[in-house]
Amino acid sequence: MKASKNGFVFAAAAALLCGIQVAFAQGAKELRYASSAPPNTVWDMQTQRYAKEIGDASGGKLKVNAFINSQLGSEQDTIQQIARGRIDMGGYSMTAGSLLVPEISLLNLPFLFASQKQQDCVLDDHLTKITADLFAKKGVQFLGWNHVGQTNIIGKKPFTKPDELKGLKARAQPTKIGGYLWTAFGANPNPLPVTEWSSAHQTGLVDVADAPLTFYIFSGLAKVAPVMTRTKHLDQGGVTVMNKAAWDALPEDMKKAIVDGGSKAPAPVLRAEVRGFEVKIEGKFKAEGGTAVELDDAQRAAWRKGMEASWPKAVEAIGGESGAYWKAIRAGIQACGA
């Protein structure tokens, strides 16, 4: 009889604990996370992992609902919604991030960095604080760097020389300086969001574009623009951000959970994963008949030389605090070495 009574007590205690856990889970604060990552890509994996790690770090107090593949809208749309507080957080390319902070579009200048090592050093060691401060002024909390990947020129034929772009219609990044890559070589830029890239190639709206390698292959672009010229003119980074009012409203333990969740896979890890994935995917792309045209050092030098003259023009065109940001970039390049 005594054992039965104890059993009843233990059962009641277990039921109570279960009820508390259910109520706790039901009371978790939910955050909507926007991403344009195509399904089954390294970015998708990183997004899902980040969401899980925040939930784990918060002990279930936070639940990050990840919406990939532009489910909530294009990058250009959703990052504006984060600034307005309609979406809580998201991961973005520098291109989308520059719609809020135009100064960071300077990081997308083709051939700006001498190496990936130099670029990573400049971002991590010299630009994190100034970038966070610029986002804060726009009502957005900077949570860290992420990575998009190596960008090449794509189309229906190779483009090994800059003068081969003359007169062509080119898809450009929708930023103040997005057209510089094309106008420098006589092409006519047309700014388009990523959601319109494929249809633009199919309809003839554009003849040429540039795209991150992994996105190019997984988004279906490779089917309509089947030739990739390996200019490697940009290894595009990205930013993870959150609405600042939503961030400020969180208790300290939840803020810490978001920071701790991100620390499980910091920027160097994210970059290494994307770059490693690119090697595998390019190999698969070639094995399945894809065309990847390599450039020699002299050819790449010709492209770089054509772009360098536009760098000061870009700083002037962006305005705002671009002068200070450019100074920080150049100082970082000098400090980091090649």
Q: Where are the domains of the chain?
A: 30-103+111-336
**Side-chain-side CA neighbours of residue 206 (13 Å):** 27
* Contacts of residue 44, Cβ cutoff 8 Å, sequence gap at least 6: 35, 37, 38, 68
As beta bridge partners, residue 181 has none
DSSP character string of 277-336: HHHHHHHHHHHTT-EEEE--HHHHHHHHHHHHTTHHHHHHHH-TTHHHHHHHHHHHHHHH
User: 30-103+111-336 sits in which CATH class?
Assistant: alpha beta
Instruction: Return the closest-CA partner of residue 258 out of 237, 271, 274, 242.
Output: 242
- Asked if the model's pLDDT at residue 18 lies above 60, the reply is no
Q: What is the pLDDT of residues 209-254, one digit of tens each?
A: 999 888 888 888 888 999 999 999 999 999 999 999 999 999 999 9
Q: What is the pLDDT of residues 305-330, one digit of tens each?
A: 989 988 998 999 999 999 999 999 99
Cβ 34 vs Cβ 73: under 8 Å: yes
Neighbours of 299 (CB within 10 A): 17
Cβ 150 vs Cβ 233: under 8 Å: no
The pLDDT value given to residue 86: 97
- The token pair at 159 is 């483009």
Which residue in this structure is represented by tokens 């595009």? 236
Residue % of the chain over a pLDDT of 90: 70
* Contacts of residue 154, Cβ cutoff 8 Å, sequence gap at least 6: 208, 209, 210, 211, 216, 221, 222, 225, 227, 228, 229
pTM of the model: 0.84
Q: Which long-range contacts (CB under 8 A, 24 or more apart) does 71-76 make?
A: 71/34, 72/32, 72/34, 73/34, 74/36, 74/193, 74/194, 74/195, 75/36, 75/193, 75/194, 76/174, 76/193
Neighbours of 125 (CB within 10 A): 11
- Asked if the model's pLDDT at residue 21 lies above 60, the reply is no
